[in-house]
Amino acid sequence: MSATTAGGRAGSIHSPLAEFWRRFRRKHIALVSGAVILLLVTASVAAPLIAPYGPAVPDYNNVLAGPSLAHLCGTDTFGRDILSRIIWGGRISLSVGFISVALGGLVGVVMGLVSGYFGGLIDSFSMRLCDVLLAFPGILLAIGVVAVLGPGIDNVIYAVAVFSVPVFARLVRGSTLALKQTLYVQAARSIGVSRFKLMFQHILPGALPAVIVYFSLRIGSSILVAASLSFIGLGAQPPSPEWGAMLADGRSYLGVADQMTLFPGLAIFITALAFNLLGDGLRDALDQKLR
Amino acid sequence: MLGYFLRRLGGTIPVLLAVSLFAFGFVRLLPGDPARLIAGPDATLQDVQAVRERLGLDQPLWQQYVRYMASTVRLSLGTSARSGQPVLTEIGERFMPTFNLSVVAMVWSCIVGVGLGVLSGVKRGNWIDQGSMVVAVSGISFPSFWLGLLLIDLCSVRLGWLPTGGDHDWKSYVMPAFTLGLPAAAVMARFTRSAFVEVAQEDYVRTARSKGLPERVVIWRHAFRNALIPVLTLAGLQFGFLLGGAIVIETVFSWPGLGRLLVESVSYRDYPVIQAEILLFSTEFVLINLLIDLLYAVVNPEIRLR
């Protein structure tokens, strides 16, 4: 639709990756977000090396202490160092976000490919299913899943994965419908390439840019939903340094120990914002192929 | 018009059936014996047997489903394992607080969201435009429960202006309604802006302007009315999502509503209540979506002619 403005450099030949990078590196906000995410991931992976204290080490002489040089983000009810808990908790929040979207994305992508490629009954059935799933707010679906499986962080992963499925399924179905008609896919079909290979080797790569964009965006919202679930007591349970669970702890100490609410919340916000802004930047950089 | 209404109404029947199947199958999806789960952890063997017979769990599945549907239609939803009260009473008590809170949140977020959207759409690039778009982008990343806690800290604990929670008078509505409506307002503002910008490029807007109509009339009568069509759909969708957001916000503000009831009953494994709430929430969403579609057809003739 608005692709005419960007199509001006027909003469020079760039690989799609180089072309993407040329556009993406101008998105300063997205670059910064990417750097923030890299930092968060590194900090989580290296938590045992970086965190000044263990996530569960109590210090009863230093209970509910405000920020100080010894405890940069203060301490909680057991005198546990909040900064250390946030760094360790990053492992939980980031992996819940990543694994759940990977899981939901995998199911959604296969569902979209199959229903876009074959059409007919499979297609209308799975798209109806997506309509129904999309009509519900993610948190309600997730609570429904937790109600069946029981509270706990493992079940939160499945719960959050469920509401990513329809997003990816619709997205990939749309691309599949368009790509199915392209010359190169028709050509591949005409020389007898198997359906499986057509779907996964010829059509899927074309749908991949959009999938990558949504991957980033979904991680942002999945981290939020997972933290909400832990906050209302249906996700990670108390001793765990999950960010939402930490906020739930801090709820009873508002005005007494604000550091218990302030810093975990900030961690959730920054992480979700970084993934959303990265996703927006990726979308802009990949725009040509998305529309 | 009537044809479209009937067709759309007919389309929701399979969805409602699917919803009822899920609510019905829900207890049977759980690991373990549903009769034992429903009877609760302290039940004796006789109690469990009584529940099994009362619910007809020894009969074939399709008969159980028919029985379930028959009693659901008669609104006999069983007894809460936690309080011992009928589920219908429990839900009835919690319905109005949630409804009132959602309506207040919806009204303010519509007015502010649409208002900000139009303001930023008309004067693109000014400080209102840039400011509201920053709010809109961070709005989707902001954990609403965190915002709620920060507000309680500021307005209740430190300043002592507003109560920390509960549903007492108008004052207790201020923070929950604000927190609940903020994401909706952000989405509405962003969406109204883009709808408005799109409409402003249409031929009829240029015509209106070129025939010398005052800018006020061009904006409100020609552009705004047409931009409102997609906004209306979004407002309906947002209302549904508001009900979802209420689950978390009610926990933050100890609001005695349906969302808190759902969270409590999931933590207590109070299956009759969970089952009824799943059915209630799902039916609400289906009806809201139906209403949006019908409203859409009223506003936009193209839809119903298809």
List pLDDT tens digits, range A116-155.
999 889 888 888 888 778 777 778 888 888 888 888 888 8
CB of B26 within 8 Å of a chain A CB? The answer is yes
Per-residue pLDDT 10s for chain B (306 aa) are 677 778 778 878 877 887 788 777 776 766 666 677 777 677 788 888 887 777 677 777 788 788 778 878 777 777 777 777 888 888 888 888 888 898 899 999 999 888 888 888 777 767 777 777 777 777 778 888 898 888 888 888 778 788 877 777 787 888 888 988 888 888 888 888 888 888 878 888 888 888 888 888 888 777 877 777 778 778 877 887 787 788 889 988 888 888 888 888 888 777 788 888 888 888 888 888 788 777 777 766 666 655
Does B98 fall in a domain?
A: no
Does A113 fall in a domain?
A: yes
Asked whether residue B274 falls in the same domain as residue B127, the answer is no
Please indicate whether, in this complex, the C-beta atoms of A147 and B278 are within 8 angstroms of each other.
yes
Asked whether residue B127 falls in the same domain as residue B219, the answer is yes
Please indicate whether, in this complex, the C-beta atoms of A138 and B244 are within 8 angstroms of each other.
yes
Compute the nearest-CA separation of A153 from chain B (Å): 14
CA distance A78 to A70: 16
CB contacts, 8 Å: B184 with chain A: none
Candidates A143, A148, A255; nearest CB to B247: A143
Q: What is the pLDDT of residues A209-228, one digit of tens each?
A: 889 888 998 999 899 999 99
Cβ pairs A/B, distance under 8 A: 113
Specify the CATH number for the domain of residue A163: 1.10.3720.10
Please indicate whether, in this complex, the C-beta atoms of A228 and B145 are within 8 angstroms of each other.
yes
Q: Are B39 and B78 in contact (CB under 8 A)?
A: no
CA distance A150 to A286: 40
Specify the CATH number for the domain of residue B115: 1.10.3720.10
Helix pair angle (A204-231, A259-285), 10° resolution: 170
Q: Are A223 and A215 in contact (CB under 8 A)?
A: no
- A187, two tokens: 């050509």
User: Which pLDDT score, from 0 to 100, does residue A37 have?
Assistant: 94
Compute the nearest-CA separation of B281 from chain A (Å): 9
Q: Where are the alpha helices (DSSP H) in B142-270?
A: 144-151, 171-200, 203-210, 215-217, 225-252, 258-268
Does A267 fall in a domain?
A: yes
CB contacts, 8 Å: A132 with chain B: 15, 18-19
CB of B137 within 8 Å of a chain A CB? The answer is yes
CA-based nearest residue to A260, from A96, A67, A89: A67
When divided into structural domains, chain B yields a total of 2
What's the pLDDT band for A40 if we cut at 50, 70, 90? Answer: very high
When divided into structural domains, chain A yields a total of 1
User: Which pLDDT score, from 0 to 100, does residue A5 have?
Assistant: 42
First vs last Cα of chain A: how many Å apart? Answer: 7
Alpha-carbon distance values, A74 to A64, A254, B22 (Å): 7, 14, 46
What's the pLDDT band for A166 if we cut at 50, 70, 90? Answer: very high
Please indicate whether, in this complex, the C-beta atoms of B281 and A140 are within 8 angstroms of each other.
yes
CB of B241 within 8 Å of a chain A CB? The answer is yes
Does A8 fall in a domain?
A: no
Range of the structural domain that residue B168 is part of: 105-267
Does A60 fall in a domain?
A: no
Does A13 fall in a domain?
A: no
Tell me which of A12-16, A77-81, A187-191, B64-68 is least confident.
A12-16
User: Which pLDDT score, from 0 to 100, does residue B305 have?
Assistant: 57
Does A62 fall in a domain?
A: no
CA distance B287 to A102: 32
CB contacts, 8 Å: A146 with chain B: 266
Alpha-carbon distance values, A94 to A80, A102, A219, A249, B92 (Å): 21, 12, 8, 20, 39
Asked whether residue B65 falls in the same domain as residue B130, the answer is no
**Angle, CA of A244, A248 and A252, to the nearest 5°:** 155
Asked whether residue B136 falls in the same domain as residue B236, the answer is yes
Asked whether residue B165 falls in the same domain as residue B247, the answer is yes
Does B88 fall in a domain?
A: no
Q: Are B29 and A148 in contact (CB under 8 A)?
A: yes
CB of B245 within 8 Å of a chain A CB? The answer is yes
Is the pLDDT at A169 greater than 90? The verdict is: yes
Does A65 fall in a domain?
A: no
Asked whether residue B149 falls in the same domain as residue B260, the answer is yes
Please indicate whether, in this complex, the C-beta atoms of B245 and A251 are within 8 angstroms of each other.
no
Q: Kindly identify which residue of chain A lies nearest to residue B245, measuring between CA atoms.
A: A139
Is the pLDDT at A291 greater than 50? The verdict is: no
Pick from A29, A40, A136, A229 the residue to mutate for testing the B interface (most B CBs within 10 Å). Answer: A136
- A59, two tokens: 């210090």
- Chain A residues with CB under 8 Å of a chain B CB are 128, 132, 135-140, 143-144, 146-148, 150-151, 220-221, 224, 227-228, 231-234, 244, 247, 250-251, 254-255, 258, 261-262, 265, 268-269, 272-273, 276-277, 280
- Please report, for chain B, how many H helices and E strands are present, in that order: 14, 0
Asked whether residue B118 falls in the same domain as residue B241, the answer is yes
Range of the structural domain that residue A227 is part of: 23-53+74-286
Q: Average pLDDT of chain A?
A: 84
Q: Looking up tokens 């059409």, which residue turns up?
A: A119
User: Which pLDDT score, from 0 to 100, does residue B55 have?
Assistant: 67
Does B95 fall in a domain?
A: no
User: Which pLDDT score, from 0 to 100, does residue B208 have?
Assistant: 84
CA-based nearest residue to B152, from B165, B143, B135: B165
Candidates B14, B266, B286; nearest CB to A143: B266
Amino acid symbol at A257:
A
Please indicate whether, in this complex, the C-beta atoms of A220 and B240 are within 8 angstroms of each other.
no
Q: How many CB atoms lie within 10 A of CB B229?
A: 16
Please indicate whether, in this complex, the C-beta atoms of A137 and B240 are within 8 angstroms of each other.
yes
CA-based nearest residue to B155, from B182, B176, B138: B176
Does B180 fall in a domain?
A: yes
Beta bridge partners of A75: A81
CB contacts, 8 Å: B14 with chain A: 128
Compute the nearest-CA separation of A113 from chain B (Å): 24
Candidates A247, A273, A280; nearest CB to B145: A247
Range A6-9 contact pairs with CB under 8 angstroms and sequence separation of 24 or more: A6/A287, A6/A288, A7/A288
CA distance B93 to B98: 10
Asked whether residue B2 falls in the same domain as residue B66, the answer is yes
Please indicate whether, in this complex, the C-beta atoms of B263 and A232 are within 8 angstroms of each other.
yes
